[in-house]
Amino acid sequence: MKLTLKIWRQKDAKSKGQMVDYPINGIEGDMSFLEMLDVLNEELINKGEEPVEFDHDCREGICGTCSLQINGEPHGPDRLITTCQLHMRKFSDGDTIVIEPFRAAAFPVIKDLIVDRSAFERIQQAGGYISVNTSGNTIDANTIPIAKHAADEAMDAATCIGCGACVAACKNASAMLFTSAKVSQFALLPQGQVEATDRVRNMVRQMDLEGFGNCTNTGACEVECPKGISLENIARMNREYYAAGVKG
Ligand code: SF4
Ligand code: FES
């Protein structure tokens, strides 16, 4: 395949970025999207030019780092996959592909296609944990009965990989889907009840402090989420938040 790539280039966080065109040849349908970028970068390096910086780690849909906006969609045109799992067979010979970083005020661009998503880590640090007594009388988690549907829903929520596609897809750059998945995975389990009130308050407060927008129920986040995280989690987080307010 012969393609034209229009890629966001930005030297550093303070520089003004711009779209730059790169023609590329010899792309196979079986290549992943990131392998296609590897080919481009080899060409750029051989020509003595700066390669395009992009984030990646596992390249198998687990780590959530490969955040690219491809033709206006987070993780590109396929559903329920990350950018690293996207294959070039989804595109046709002669296509122009627009590649940008995830856009959100709370995700500032560091360089080219890499954004700073440490805001998500700070939301996690605000309450995404449980405390367990390990002083000698620890209760084995497996001895606590958990209803099957609750275990399943908690597991589904826990599959969020923190990629940020929900934020990039949302016209308000809201982080409600991410935060609600992280609240839900504990709210559904007995182990999560001890700190439930503080958890939802602190995580929502941190989410607001980071500058993410409000949720207006457009549902774009759920459509673009590579892990199929459900809007049900947002409803659950809202219930948890109101319940925490009633407790005072
Ligand atoms: S909710 Fe989905 S889109 Fe948002 S961070 Fe988690 S996995 Fe990514
Ligand atoms: S590189 Fe890890 S999810 Fe894509």
Residue 101 sits in the same domain as residue 149 = no
What percent of the chain shows pLDDT beyond 90? 94
Pocket test for ligand 2, best of 32, 36, 38, 66 (most atoms within 8 A of CB): 66
Could you tell me the distance, in angstroms and rounded to a whole number, from the CA of residue 138 to the centre of ligand 1?
Answer: 33
Decide if pLDDT at 26 tops 80: yes
Could you tell me the distance, in angstroms and rounded to a whole number, from the CA of residue 45 to the centre of ligand 1?
Answer: 33
**Per-residue pLDDT, 210:** 98
For residues 105-130, average pLDDT: 97
For residues 41-57, average pLDDT: 98
For residues 13-38, average pLDDT: 98
Residue 66 sits in the same domain as residue 169 = no
Could you tell me the distance, in angstroms and rounded to a whole number, from the CA of residue 157 to the centre of ligand 1?
Answer: 10
For residues 64-79, average pLDDT: 97
Look at the chain and report how many structural domains it folds into. 2
Q: What is the CATH number of the domain that holds 225?
A: 1.10.1060.10
Could you tell me the distance, in angstroms and rounded to a whole number, from the CA of residue 132 to the centre of ligand 2?
Answer: 31
Pocket test for ligand 2, best of 36, 75, 82, 159 (most atoms within 8 A of CB): 82
Residue 156 sits in the same domain as residue 51 = no
For residues 113-124, average pLDDT: 98
Last residue of a domain, one of 85, 111, 137: 111
Say if pTM beats, i.e. exceeds, 0.85. yes
Last residue of a domain, one of 111, 132, 148: 111
Residue 149 sits in the same domain as residue 212 = yes
Residue 139 sits in the same domain as residue 106 = no
**Per-residue pLDDT, 136:** 81
- Ligand 1, atom 2, residue with closest C-alpha: 225
Could you tell me the distance, in angstroms and rounded to a whole number, from the CA of residue 233 to the centre of ligand 2?
Answer: 23
Cα–Cα dist 223/200, whole Å = 24
170 lines ligand 1 (CB under 6 A): no
Written as one letter, the residue type at 110 is I
Residue 141 sits in the same domain as residue 100 = no
pLDDT tier, 248 (very low <50, low <70, confident <90, very high otherwise): confident
Cα–Cα dist 101/55, whole Å = 10
Could you tell me the distance, in angstroms and rounded to a whole number, from the CA of residue 93 to the centre of ligand 1?
Answer: 31
Pocket test for ligand 1, best of 176, 178, 237 (most atoms within 8 A of CB): 178
What percent of the chain shows pLDDT beyond 70? 100
Residue 92 sits in the same domain as residue 178 = no
The boundaries of the domain holding residue 183 are: 117-247
Decide if pLDDT at 133 tops 90: no
**Per-residue pLDDT, 31:** 98
Residue 107 sits in the same domain as residue 145 = no
- The number of the ligand nearest the C-alpha atom of 179 reads 1
Q: How wide is the angle at C-alpha 181 spanned by C-alphas 66 and 56, nearest 5°?
A: 10
Cα–Cα dist 241/4, whole Å = 47
The full length of the chain comes to 248
Contact 160, 219 (CB under 8 A): no
Q: What is the CATH number of the domain that holds 34?
A: 3.10.20.30
Residue 178 sits in the same domain as residue 223 = yes
109 lines ligand 1 (CB under 6 A): no
Round the average pLDDT of the chain to a whole number and report it: 96
**Per-residue pLDDT, 135:** 83
DSSP bridge partners of 127: none
For residues 41-69, average pLDDT: 97
Cα–Cα dist 77/172, whole Å = 21
Question: Based on the number of CB atoms within 10 Å of its own CB, is 131 exposed (0-12), middle (13-18) or buried (19 or more)?
Answer: exposed
Residue 197 sits in the same domain as residue 227 = yes
Name the nearest CA neighbour of 168 among 201, 128, 119: 119
97 lines ligand 1 (CB under 6 A): no
Residue 104 sits in the same domain as residue 165 = no
**Per-residue pLDDT, 236:** 98
Last residue of a domain, one of 95, 111, 127: 111
Residue 131 sits in the same domain as residue 70 = no
